[in-house]
Amino acid sequence: MDMNRRDFLGRLAALPSLFGATGERPNILYIMADDHASHAISAYGSRINRTPNIDRIAKEGMRFDNCFCTNSICTPSRGVIMTGQYSHITGVKTLNDGLDPARQNIAKLLQGAGYQTGFVGKWHLKYDPSGFDYWIMLPGQGVYHNPVMIEMGRKRQLQGYATDLIADYSLDYLKRRDKNKPFFLMCHHKAPHRPWQPDAKHANMYEGENVPEPFNLLDHYEHRSKAAANATNKVGENMVKSDVKRDIPPDLKGDALRKWAYQYYIKDYLRCIASVDDNVGRMLDYLDAEGLTGKTLVIYTSDQGFFLGDHGYFDKRFMYEESLRMPFLVRYPGAIKPGSVNKDMVLNLDFAETFLDYAGAKAPADMQGRSFRPILEGHTPKDWRKSMYYRYWMHMADHGIPAHYGVRTKRYKLIYYYGKALGSAGAIDKDTAPEWELFDVVKDPHEMVNLYDDPKHQGVVKELKAELDRLQKEYKDTPS
C-alpha cells in the first residue's frame, strides 16, 4: 500500500533508527511455536507458567495484545503467513491442503531482495518448502522423540528431542551462513502441539502442584450457541489416554472428570513450553555472543492460539478469543522501544509485508495485508484497520466444530456458523443449523453471553453484518 502522510512523517522522525542501531537492513529471525496460547506466556500475564527467555523479547521490544489469525488451524495459518493472502486465495483452507511450491511466498521475495533464507522445523504445508537456500523439516506433524526429518529432500533419522533438535539445526544454519548477507531464518517448533510429550529435563515440572484453573473451566454453555455446547473438544470428556498419559477412571464424569483431566494435560503442555523457552534463550544468547542482537529483528509467535481449559475446551478452530489471538513479541534494538505494548489489531496476514518493508523490498500487489512497521516504531497510521475478518472451513471435520466466519472489532465480535460445507475438502458432508453469536469483548472478554437476540443490540448486529459483507468483498471471499 502507498505510504500516507502520517506514515511518511513518522518514518522521517525515526530516521536515525530506521534500520536499527547499525543503519543496515536487519536480519530476520522468526521463531514460531505450534498451539502456544498467549496466556501461557508470562509476558502476557500468565497465571500458570513462567517463560523468562520469551519474556526477554517483550522486555527488550514490543508486545502485541491484539494479534489475530485469520483461520485458527495449523496448515491454513502457515499458508497465510507465507503468502500474505487469505486461505480462500491460496487454496490452503484445511489441514488436507498444501501450499503450491510455485506460488509466490515471503522466502522467495526475500531471496530476491538479497537475503539468504533458511527453514527449520514444522512446515506442515504438504509439499517441500520453496524459496529457502537451506531447509530441514519434520514430515507432516512429526514426533517429539527421535524424529525423522527431511533435509533438502533426504530423510534423516535423528536422535534427541524435537525442540532441542530444531534449535540445534537453526543455530548450525546461523553459524554456517554467509556473513556478508542478511539472513531470514524461520525456526518452527513442533511444541506444544498435542500429544504434549515433554523431554526428560522437564518431565517432573509441576509435580505435586495444582495448576490454577481458568474461571470458566466448568462452562456449561447456558447462554451460547449449540455449536459451542455440542463441540467435542472438551477437556476430559473428549480426551484419550495419550492426552493424560494414564487410564481415564471410568467412574469420573462431568465436572469432576474435567477438573481431573485438566491437571494432567495442562502440566504436559506447560512442560513442552518450558523446553521451547529454554531453546529461545539459546537463540538469543547466540545473537548476543556474535554481536548480532542490534542487527536482528527477532519475532516470537505461534501459528494460532489454543484453549487452555477455557470454556472447558482444548484445541483451537473456534473464533473465540483464546483460539483467535496469537502471541506476537518482536525486538529490534534502536528501532523498537523496549518494553512497549501495542493494542492495535494486526494479523498473520500482515507478517510478510512487514518483513518486506524492513528488507527494503516492495510487496506484491496481490498481498492482502499491510506492513505494521510504523506501529512497531511508535506511529500507528490514522487509517489502520478497525476490524478483521476470520473464516474456518473444516465443517464438522474435527471436534464437531462447524465451519464459520465472522468479524471482530475493538468492541464486538459477530460469528456466523453457516451450517454446511462450502467447497472445503477438509469438511464433512453434514449440515447443521445455521447460528449467530454476538459478544461484547470489552464487557464480556471471556465470551460467556451471546447477545445476538438481545433487542438492545440489534443496531450493533446490523452494523456488524454490513462490516462483515464489506470485508468479504474487500478480501474477495464470496460464501454462498
pLDDT of residue 5: 47
Non-local CB neighbours of 447 within 8 Å, separated by 6+ positions: 311, 320, 321, 413, 439, 441
How far apart CA 96 and CA 392 sit, in angstroms, is: 13
CA distances from residue 2 to 7, 353, 385 in whole angstroms, order as listed: 10, 12, 15
The reported pLDDT for the residue numbered 388 is 98
Q: Which residues neighbour 242 within 8 Å (Cβ) at sequence distance 6 or greater?
A: 195
Question: According to DSSP H, which parts of 41-135 are helical?
Answer: 52-59, 74-83, 87-90, 106-112
The grid coordinates of residue 237 equal 470428556
Q: Are 56 and 337 in contact (CB under 8 A)?
A: no
**75: number of Cβ within 10 Å:** 23
C-alpha cell at 253: 464424569
Q: What is the pLDDT of residue 204?
A: 97
Cβ proximity of 250 and 236 under 8 Å: no
pLDDT of residue 24: 86
> What confidence score (pLDDT) does residue 9 get?
42
pLDDT digits (tens, 9 = 90+) for 365-390: 999 999 999 999 999 999 999 999 99
Q: Tell me how long the chain is.
A: 480
335-340 contacts, C-beta under 8 A, 24 or more apart? 335/14, 335/17, 335/18, 335/19, 335/20, 335/376, 335/377, 336/61, 336/62, 336/376, 336/377, 337/62, 337/378, 338/59, 338/60, 338/61, 339/58, 339/59, 339/60, 340/61, 340/62, 340/63, 340/378
Helix (H, G, I), strand (E, B) or coil at 280: helix
Residue whose C-alpha is closest to residue 471's, from 382, 406, 413, 393: 406
Residues with Cβ within 8 Å of 125's Cβ and at least 6 positions away in sequence, in order, are 75, 78, 79, 82, 92, 98, 99
196: Cα separation from own chain's centroid:
17
Own/partner contacts of 280-284, CB < 8 Å, gap of 24 or more, are 280/31, 280/53, 280/54, 280/57, 281/52, 281/53, 281/56, 282/167, 282/171, 283/29, 283/31, 283/167, 283/170, 283/171, 283/187, 284/53, 284/56, 284/57
CA distance 85 to 122: 20
Look up residue 306 and give its amino acid.
F
Q: Helix, strand, coil shares of the chain as percentages rounded to 5?
A: 30, 20, 50
Q: What is d(CA 319, CA 312) in angstroms, rounded to the nearest whole number?
A: 15
With both helix axes pointing from N to C terminus, report the angle between 351-358 and 74-83 in degrees, rounded to the nearest 10. 30
Distance CA 38, CA 46 (A): 8
Q: CA 394, CA 318: separation in Å to the nearest integer?
A: 11
Distance in Å from the first CA to the final CA of the chain: 30
What value, to the nearest 5°, has the Cα angle with vertex 103 and ends 100 and 105?
115
* Residues 128 and 119 sit within 8 Å (Cβ to Cβ): no
CA distance 120 to 140: 13
Cis bond leading into 374, ω under 30°?
no
Hey, which residues does 387 pair with through a beta bridge? 409
pLDDT of residue 22: 52
Q: What is the pLDDT of residues 38-84, one digit of tens each?
A: 999 999 999 999 999 999 999 999 999 999 999 999 999 999 999 99
pLDDT at 256: 98
Distance CA(105)–CA(78), nearest Å, equals: 11
pLDDT of residue 309: 98
Residues of the chain short of pLDDT 70, as ranges, are 1-23, 480
Distance (Å, whole) CA 387 – CA 69: 13
pTM of the model: 0.94
Contact by Cβ (8 Å): 74, 319: no
Whether 404 contacts 418, CB under 8 Å: yes
